[in-house]
Amino acid sequence: MRLENIWLRYHRRGPWVLRAADVRIDPGEVAVVLGRNGVGKSTLLQLAAGVLRPTRGRVLDRPAAVGWVPERFPADQPFTVDQYLGAMGRVAGLAGPATDRAVAHWVDRLGLTPVRGVRLPQLSKGTAQKVGLAQAMLRPPGLLVLDEPWEGLDAAARELVPAVIDEVLADGGAVLVSDHRGETVRLPAARRWAVADGAVVEESPSGTEAMAVVELVVPAARVSGTVARLRADGHHILRVRAAATPAAASIPDGVAASSAAPSGAEAGVPSLSLGDGVEPGATGPAREAAR
């Protein structure tokens, strides 16, 4: 499938969210869509899934069966899990018995059996997310599009997502997934599409690149924001800890990060370690720090 010269704005005189975006994905491939909050990741995924139509440009060779998992499952619907999945199976074009088999399979696979008779508004966020994943898988998708699929899932359920992705890939499907939590570290073979300033840039594979650990010191109040920004830039956070030794005056320009202990930090000021598997062309705080 190819997104060819895609331009998108939500309103006639509104700002362009995407400008001349051009990317392609082939069967059996997975691409992770990365970028800061509000940069256009969901917009790109919705265009790929066919939920949004481009203002200009076109989407070529989109597979017939598309599974779409939005960031927030629309749980405000008066159906039970069974009723909803049955209806979605029919919407996906499955015959009655095939829908029943598919619903039974995915209800079991995603641990939804105890909530089959529960109405959607009564589901917890994580369970609702699983229902969202189940509906996307009822008809084996040639393209599975997942917008922040790990959001709201507990540790055990988070493991399900890469397993489902692998299954789609093994069947020759393609997968697009956005992630600001760093969960896509579980998808080492994924291509990486970075969205910034309206453009989508494919980052080159990092598999053969040397890895480095960068240690940063930030004020405690800024830890969560810093972690979120670094993850959005595709960096992998190894740990966050309180720093106990006195602060160094500065880190000289050109000092490359290493796995050595940090030169120092103020007492009580958390320090972050992040593994940087990103290729040399990447931008972002960790890359800046490593320069």
Ligand X SMILES: Nc1ncnc2c1ncn2[C@@H]1O[C@H](COP(=O)(O)OP(=O)(O)OP(=O)(O)O)[C@@H](O)[C@H]1O
User: What is the DSSP secondary structure assignment for residue 119, as one 8-state letter?
Assistant: B
Q: Which one of the spans 31-39, 136-144, 205-213, 248-256 is the region binding ligand X (CB under 6 A)?
A: 31-39
For the chain, how far is it from start to end, CA to CA, in angstroms?
Answer: 36
- Which residue among 23, 30, 31, 35 contacts ligand X (CB under 6 A)? 35
User: In angstroms, rounded to a whole number, what is the distance separating the alpha carbons of residues 17 and 291?
Assistant: 30
Burial degree of 272 (CB within 10 A; 0-12, 13-18, 19+): buried
> Which strands, in side-by-side order, build the sheet including 143-147?
66-69, 143-147, 174-178, 30-34, 191-196, 199-203
For ligand X, give the closer residue by CB, 231 or 236: 231
Task: In angstroms, give the least distance from the CB of 150 to ligand X.
Answer: 13
Q: Are 137 and 164 in contact (CB under 8 A)?
A: yes
Query: Residue 10 interacts with ligand X (CB under 6 A)?
Result: yes
For ligand X, give the closer residue by CB, 43 or 135: 43
Q: Which one of the spans 34-42, 94-102, 111-119, 123-131 is the region binding ligand X (CB under 6 A)?
A: 34-42
For ligand X, give the closer residue by CB, 19 or 41: 41
For ligand X, give the closer residue by CB, 191 or 231: 231
- Which residue among 1, 23, 30, 39 contacts ligand X (CB under 6 A)? 39
Task: In angstroms, give the least distance from the CB of 219 to ligand X.
Answer: 24
> Which strands, in side-by-side order, build the sheet including 56-60?
18-24, 2-8, 56-60
Query: Residue 17 interacts with ligand X (CB under 6 A)?
Result: yes
Give residue for tokens 């080492």.
Answer: 188
- Which residue among 30, 42, 134, 274 contacts ligand X (CB under 6 A)? 42
Task: In angstroms, give the least distance from the CB of 46 to ligand X.
Answer: 8
**Among residue numbers 169 through 198, which ones bind ligand X (CB under 6 A)?**
180
# of chain residues touching ligand X (CB under 6 A): 11
For ligand X, give the closer residue by CB, 34 or 164: 34
For ligand X, give the closer residue by CB, 89 or 284: 284
Query: Residue 41 interacts with ligand X (CB under 6 A)?
Result: yes
Q: Tell me the Cα Rg of the chain.
A: 21
Give CA separation, 54 vs 30, 44, 48, in Å.
22, 9, 10
> Per-residue b/e over 180-218, b at no fewer than 16 CB within 10 Å?
bebbbbbbeebbbbbbeebebbebeebeeeeebbbbbbb
User: In angstroms, rounded to a whole number, what is the distance separating the alpha carbons of residues 192 and 177?
Assistant: 10
For ligand X, give the closer residue by CB, 35 or 270: 35
Query: Residue 37 interacts with ligand X (CB under 6 A)?
Result: yes
Query: Residue 32 interacts with ligand X (CB under 6 A)?
Result: no
Q: Which one of the spans 35-43, 80-88, 100-108, 198-206 is the region binding ligand X (CB under 6 A)?
A: 35-43
Count of C-beta atoms within a 10 Å radius of residue 60: 10
For ligand X, give the closer residue by CB, 17 or 115: 17
| CA angle (92, 170, 168) in 5-degree steps | 30
Count of C-beta atoms within a 10 Å radius of residue 252: 8
Q: Which one of the spans 20-28, 39-47, 137-145, 276-284 is the region binding ligand X (CB under 6 A)?
A: 39-47
Which residues are at the interface with ligand X (CB under 6 A)? Answer: 10, 17, 35, 37-43, 180
